[in-house]
Amino acid sequence: MATRRGPSVLLLDIDGTVVNYRLEVPPGAADALRAVRGRGHLVYLCTGRSRAEIYPHLWELGVDGLIGGNGSYVEDGDLVVFHQVLDPVVVQRAVDWMLERDLGFYLECNAGLFGSDNLPEKAAAILGGPTPENVAFVRNGFPDMIYGAREGRDDVNKISFVLEDGIDLDALARDYAGEASIDTWSMTGNGPEFGEFGQLGIHKGGAVRRLAEHLGADARRPDRLR
């Protein structure tokens, strides 16, 4: 007799998975997600985005919770399972470094996204230049961004900045060794376009294990509930 399979836990990235690089949720993706939940399975978003960047249309898909900030935050329903933030001293040092170089950047917090005033124009260069259309695309992509309020925060999950010629990421990683991890990500899917200050020892894999433990799942098979 076949063993009856219990509910599964499905972990979905957002950008390039649930949302395409035009920032749209394809109808097929939304329908598939709702069908999975309708069969009793659990669905969690697992993303580099912080909670402030999980907009209503994503919650309206009916997900059960969130792994956010590349693993710095874990939420199940209304319960915060885990949350860890960057050292504020490291945040201020990074902000000073970015301001000195006139980089476009933003601080990624659960309470909001806090960007430099020049972020839309700097990020628009990734799309081919700071034309009105490209600047509008960036602003629409970050609809709740708070511009100018960027210093003195103690709730930062990670920091993103627009990559420019002359930025030596290897040297930056050496300079922040023991304080922050240095990584990159893509806004368009065409290669590294943003640099990132992240937390040491924080990653999605660790967050998956925390969520599995919280749910009573086998840590070796986090897709299976006990």
If one counts the domains in the chain, the total is 2
Assess whether 72 and 161 both reside in one domain: no
What is the pairing mode between strands 9-12 and 181-185? unpaired
Write down the pTM of the prediction: 0.88
23-32, 50-59, 68-77, 203-212: least confident range: 23-32
Q: What is the pLDDT of residue 34?
A: 84
Assess whether 96 and 146 both reside in one domain: yes
Tell whether the model's pLDDT for residue 38 goes beyond 90: no
Q: Report helix, strand or coil for 88.
A: helix
Assess whether 57 and 98 both reside in one domain: no
| Residue 3: band (very low, low, confident or very high) from pLDDT cuts 50, 70, 90 | very low
Task: Confirm whether 188 is domain-assigned.
Answer: yes
Contacts of 171 (CB under 8 A, 6+ apart): none
Assess whether 137 and 35 both reside in one domain: no
d(Cα 86, Cα 141) in Å, to the nearest integer?
A: 24
Task: Confirm whether 59 is domain-assigned.
Answer: yes
CATH number of residue 211's parent domain: 3.40.50.1000
Q: What is the pLDDT of residue 167?
A: 97
Tell whether the model's pLDDT for residue 4 goes beyond 70: no
Assess whether 102 and 173 both reside in one domain: yes
The model's pLDDT over 118-171, given as tens digits with 9 standing for 90+, comes to: 999 999 999 999 999 999 999 999 999 999 866 789 999 999 999 999 999 999
Q: What is the pLDDT of residue 2?
A: 45
Assess whether 67 and 100 both reside in one domain: no
Cα angle: 61, vertex 33, 42; to 5 degrees: 90
The model's pLDDT over 44-100, given as tens digits with 9 standing for 90+, comes to: 999 999 999 999 989 988 899 999 999 999 999 999 999 999 999 999 999 999 999
Q: Whose structure tokens read 């109808």?
A: 27
Task: Confirm whether 4 is domain-assigned.
Answer: no
| Residue 195: band (very low, low, confident or very high) from pLDDT cuts 50, 70, 90 | very high
Closest listed residue to residue 7, CA positions, set 215, 166, 220: 215
Q: What is the pLDDT of residue 224?
A: 46
Closest listed residue to residue 74, CA positions, set 106, 108, 50, 42: 50
Q: What is the pLDDT of residue 225?
A: 40
What mean pLDDT is predicted for residues 27-50?
88
Assess whether 118 and 165 both reside in one domain: yes
Task: Confirm whether 45 is domain-assigned.
Answer: yes
CATH number of residue 138's parent domain: 3.30.1240.10
| Residue 5: band (very low, low, confident or very high) from pLDDT cuts 50, 70, 90 | low
Q: Report helix, strand or coil for 112.
A: coil
Assess whether 190 and 128 both reside in one domain: yes
Task: Confirm whether 155 is domain-assigned.
Answer: yes
Containing structural domain, residue 44: 9-84+203-225
Closest listed residue to residue 81, CA positions, set 219, 212, 218: 212
Q: What is the pLDDT of residue 115?
A: 96
Assess whether 189 and 95 both reside in one domain: yes
Strand partners, 159: 107, 197
Task: Confirm whether 3 is domain-assigned.
Answer: no
Contacts of 64 (CB under 8 A, 6+ apart): 37, 42, 43, 44, 76, 77
Q: What is the pLDDT of residue 211?
A: 96
Tell whether the model's pLDDT for residue 222 goes beyond 90: no
Assess whether 76 and 153 both reside in one domain: no
Q: What is the pLDDT of residue 30?
A: 81
Assess whether 21 and 73 both reside in one domain: yes
Assess whether 194 and 92 both reside in one domain: yes
Tell whether the model's pLDDT for residue 221 goes beyond 70: no
